[in-house]
Structure 1
Amino acid sequence: MYTLDLNTQDFLTHYWQKKPLVIRQAFPNFEDIITSNELAGLACESEISSRVVVTTKNDWEIHQGPFEDYTQFGDKNWQLLVQALNHWYPDATPFIDAFRFIPDWRFDDLMVSFATKGGGVGAHIDNYDVFIVQGEGKRQWTVGNKGNYAKKNNSITTPLIEGFDPIIDVVLEKGDMLYIPPGFPHQGQTLTTAMSYSIGFRAPSQQELFSEIADNLIDNNTGLTRFTSHDEPALAGIISQTHQQGMVDLLQDVLQDPNHYQALLGKVLSQNRFELDICEPEEAYTHQDLLDALTQGASLHRIGGLKVLRVENDISPRLFINGEQIDCSKIEKDNLDSVMSTLTQTLQFDNETSKTLIKTPNISPILLTLLNKGYYYLAL
């Protein structure tokens, strides 16, 4: 349904995280994923992250959702933004699938914008990669080069900047796409009432990783080796170069041990910033329940936004899902790689694939765990 007309290998080689790119008709015959009324309805829900940005004379006002009424904003100069649509709207899945040439662990969310004429956000810089796909209507986008830019109104907390000289100045129409890597300033301006789709990809910072490493060591009561030295400085008030290096080496010992970093990375990278639509069944599914459902034609679906990851060359046969480890050690070695690949790559199993999967020895307990945690669901 959503076929991306892009040479992905050429894109990854020459543009990904390097420079911005405009792709005309990236999605030929594109149809909007959701209507503006449906989007407005989702923004009424308290568990869904939404906001309205109102453009004023020389600034922007941000109103946080949920929203019951939009008449207060008038008929121009504002836009509604709904985060993580893919968590709450299953019809977004085929669109997300078109971007899986980028690893799932990087995927942040699908943000959707409904904007009236004149609506937009000022010049700003993001610390993540974003693809912006235009739906109905037209929006003008300008993108500048990386550089040092003055913060808007000298605020140290805002992502907004005072301005930039554009290297891209383009009007996006239905099906067009703009890619913007981290650090490139950009600004969008709505020319006609419009729908836009922003697919964001994010990587952890050093600060985030070190924080998670520390928490992991504390939680597991590991990393208890203390620094020892073979020489001491002549002066008591000196931290010698050899002592400095020895303590750094102590940290590196932890960071280079797969027993520490593989589980840590699997946990961190399989989590989401935004709430998932997890709905555990009232009564736990049994193996017979699962067989009966599949016999009746059910299919097995992953909930929107859920990340199912495995670590290459992992020391243990396991999957990482929403920050949890799912043990796969009981699956026979001859089937292990195939099963884990299937679970990580497939978002929706049709009925025949589901019935084939459940025939794999020792797979049923894993599927039941995923169903009973609300990570997967059965659809008829």
Structure 2
Amino acid sequence: MYQLNIDKAEFLRDVWQQQPKVFPRAFVDFVDPIAADELAGLACEEEVSSRIVVTKGNDWEVISGPFEDYDAYGESHWQLLVQAVNHWYPDAQPLVEAFRFLPDWRFDDLMVSFATPQGGVGPHIDNYDVFIIQGEGRRRWTVGPKGQYARRGNNPESPLIEDFEPIIDVVLEAGDVLYIPPGFPHQGETLSLALSYSMGFRAPSQQELVSELADFLIDANQGQQRFISSSEAGSQGLVSCSEQTGIMALLAELANTPSQYIPVLGKLLSQNRFELDICENESAMDLTELTDALDDGANLVRIGGLKVLRMEADPEARLFIAGESLPITEASPDELSLVANATCLDADAVAPLLAKPCWQNFWLTMLEKGYWYLGE
């Protein structure tokens, strides 16, 4: 169990999405949840998103995984980064739990890096919030103020920016945490062999919202209303201001209609950017088999990274899971909340749910899909 030793209420009020901050010894006696060789093994898998960044003077080379071996990279000036480790490595879940004082819909993934001395990714700006937790070893981090920064080498395609004047310059050791909101430039430099953990939190962009809304309207055959006006512009080639605002008000109307936007947001916010480690089942389980397994001490365990969300004020009894809307018609709000919040449910918690046919169907379907599995 990982206990995050910060004042969470104060953090949310004064720091979250406002300013970067260092939290020394935020985890006391921190123990790495994964070893370097285990991380390297994950990066060998085709399904796992990984990359190596090689430092070359003032430039960086990025090589995408999977990787068969690492001998060619030497003993310094490179870093291995593996995305969504929490999807593939269950022992990482307790570290994720320490940050669940923030809502699940914001959580993106746990990225883990193994870095050799003088390895790093260069100065860059992220469009999401990140907590950097230092494990084994030591890394120096610098963070600059928000501002307009030129791309490295005037290359608009470069993910890197030119150097910045730091407002934070700190060496992190095991258990230290650095929080960086969106828009603040930062850079890490490895001082000794190091494992670092980046807990990323992301909100949807306007592009993602509009794209999901369009998909929903097309799939549901909705959004057929057209603009109607009582007067027209006096000039043949002119679109008047009132017409412009009237047309755009069609979108505003959708945004103010819960029956329209709740399913859009639920599906969008429950999606994952990275592949899930689906727990494949050889055959479907029936209710008797499920009940017997629970009676024998099994728990229903959610796979790593799966987002299970409910929408406040939703007129329908449903959950949004992995980009799908799943009606559970007879479920109570407390039951929906229990399933959305808990990553592991024991027999005592599940028994009242299995008294209802809607939950019986739900659990058998989730086990068949491989979103939950029977574990200890």
For Structure 1 versus Structure 2, the TM-score category normalised by the shorter chain is: over 0.9
The answer to whether the 8 Å contact 1:82/1:111 transfers is yes
2:345 counterpart of 1:349? yes
The answer to whether the 8 Å contact 2:317/2:333 transfers is no
Offset of residue 159 of structure 1: 2.3
Q: Residue 9 of structure 2: SS of its match in structure 1? A: helix
Query: Structure 1 residues 360-369 or 97-106, which shifts more?
Result: 360-369
Number of residue pairs matched by the alignment = 376
2:264 counterpart of 1:264? yes
Give the match for residue 94 of structure 2: 94
TM-score (norm 2): 0.98
Q: Residue 120 of structure 1: SS of its match in structure 2? A: coil
Query: Structure 1 residues 253-262 or 4-13, which shifts more?
Result: 253-262
Separation of aligned partners in 1, 2:345 and 2:330: 22
Offset of residue 257 of structure 1: 1.4
Separation of aligned partners in 2, 1:254 and 1:28: 48
Give the match for residue 372 of structure 2: 376
Offset of residue 166 of structure 1: 0.3
The answer to whether the 8 Å contact 2:279/2:372 transfers is no
The answer to whether the 8 Å contact 2:79/2:113 transfers is yes
The answer to whether the 8 Å contact 1:126/1:159 transfers is no
The answer to whether the 8 Å contact 2:212/2:268 transfers is yes
2:336 counterpart of 1:340? yes
Separation of aligned partners in 2, 1:178 and 1:360: 46
Offset of residue 296 of structure 1: 1.6
Question: Which amino acid is 1:13 matched to?
Answer: R
2:195 counterpart of 1:195? yes
Separation of aligned partners in 1, 2:275 and 2:19: 31
The answer to whether the 8 Å contact 1:23/1:177 transfers is yes
Offset of residue 356 of structure 1: 5.1
| 1:72-151 alignment runs, 5 A limit | 72-151=72-151
The answer to whether the 8 Å contact 1:123/1:161 transfers is yes
Question: Which amino acid is 2:183 matched to?
Answer: G
Offset of residue 325 of structure 1: 1.2
Question: Which amino acid is 1:367 matched to?
Answer: W
The answer to whether the 8 Å contact 2:116/2:190 transfers is yes
Identity score, percent = 57
TM-score (norm 1): 0.97
Separation of aligned partners in 2, 1:268 and 1:286: 31
Q: Residue 122 of structure 2: SS of its match in structure 1? A: strand
Question: Which amino acid is 1:340 matched to?
Answer: L
| 1:27-106 alignment runs, 5 A limit | 27-106=27-106
Separation of aligned partners in 2, 1:101 and 1:159: 31
Deviations 1:213-270 (A, max 9, x none): 1121112111111111101122111111221121011221122111210000000000
Pairwise CA RMSD = 1.2
Separation of aligned partners in 2, 1:138 and 1:66: 26
Separation of aligned partners in 1, 2:67 and 2:95: 26
Q: Mind listing any 5+ residue stretches in structure 1 that lack a counterpart?
A: none
Offset of residue 158 of structure 1: 2.1
